[in-house]
């Protein structure tokens, strides 16, 4: 589940919307959000910024793993690449890592193939620079980055939220967001289509709505 907040560090970028305005809008269109908004306040996460290569490398390492195990593997990969703390990783250094070395870091065979493809497509220019990504709209970013092996729409949506700080990202394939809003709306279940339709009211602050969804699963609201 995405973290509540992060310290503003090197490469971090401003949030792409006014958190207080987002909170006011959301409780107006959905009064059932009032308790969580009053409890945790406006959205407090800080986009990480950094290079798209590093953001996607981290995302691939974290796929289908709990946070602690994923962080350990990600740290081993960065160490193998010689990435300085807080610095940018070199795609060429990753591409030069043999499969055995990356597997020794804890990556599966599929993830090893994915990060090699990520490095290759970054060097080829398929993965744009951060400045170039900022010039693209959300749908264009998704279309571009899903060309990387092992990167699907959800992974790109997390980049839009937590690297680029986009204001209106609505990750309908995120199980936790669907679960949170099913509970909020007292629905037995929500399909991605249903969540997409009901989330229209949250525009233009659907990123904040997603963040509150994750918070709804934290104590004392979640169980």
Give residue-wise pLDDT tens across range 190-214: 999 999 999 999 999 999 999 999 9
Distance between CA 6 and CA 212 in Å, rounded?
A: 16
Just give the CATH number of 19-46+169-216: 1.10.1670.40
Distance between CA 206 and CA 199 in Å, rounded?
A: 7
Name the more confident of 56 and 86. 56
Residue 5 above 50 pLDDT?
A: no
Q: What is the pLDDT of residue 13?
A: 57
Residue 100 CA, distance from chain mean position: 28
The pLDDT tens digits for 18-56 are 999 999 999 999 999 999 999 999 998 888 878 999 999
- Select from 13, 54, 11, 4 the least CA-distant residue to 165: 13
Superfamily of domain 52-162: Hypothetical protein; domain 2 (1.10.340.30)
Residue showing tokens 């904040």: 208
Mean pLDDT of the region 137-161: 95
Q: Does the fold of domain 52-162 match that of domain 19-46+169-216?
A: no
Domain boundaries, the chain: 19-46+169-216, 52-162
């Amino acid at each position: 589940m995405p973290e509540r907040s992060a310290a503003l560090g090197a490469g971090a970028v401003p949030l792409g919307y006014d958190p207080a305005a987002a909170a006011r809008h959301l409780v107006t269109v959905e009064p059932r959000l009032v308790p969580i908004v009053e409890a945790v306040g406006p959205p407090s996460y800080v986009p990480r910024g950094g290079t798209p290569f590093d953001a996607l490398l981290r995302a691939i390492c974290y796929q289908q793993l709990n946070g602690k195990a994923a962080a350990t593997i990600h740290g081993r990969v960065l160490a193998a690449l010689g990435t300085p703390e807080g610095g940018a990783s070199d795609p060429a250094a990753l591409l030069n890592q043999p499969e055995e070395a990356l597997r020794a870091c804890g990556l599966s065979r599929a993830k090893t193939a994915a990060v090699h493809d990520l490095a290759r497509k970054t060097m080829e220019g398929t993965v744009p620079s951060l400045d170039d990504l900022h010039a693209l709209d959300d749908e264009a970013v998704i279309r571009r980055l899903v060309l990387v092996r092992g990167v699907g729409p959800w992974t790109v949506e997390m980049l839009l939220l937590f690297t680029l700080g986009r204001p209106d990202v609505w990750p309908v394939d995120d199980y936790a967001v669907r679960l949170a809003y099913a509970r909020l709306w007292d629905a037995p279940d929500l399909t991605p289509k249903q969540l997409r339709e009901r989330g229209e009211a949250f525009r233009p602050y659907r990123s904040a709505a997603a963040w509150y969804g994750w918070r709804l699963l934290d104590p004392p609201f979640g169980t």
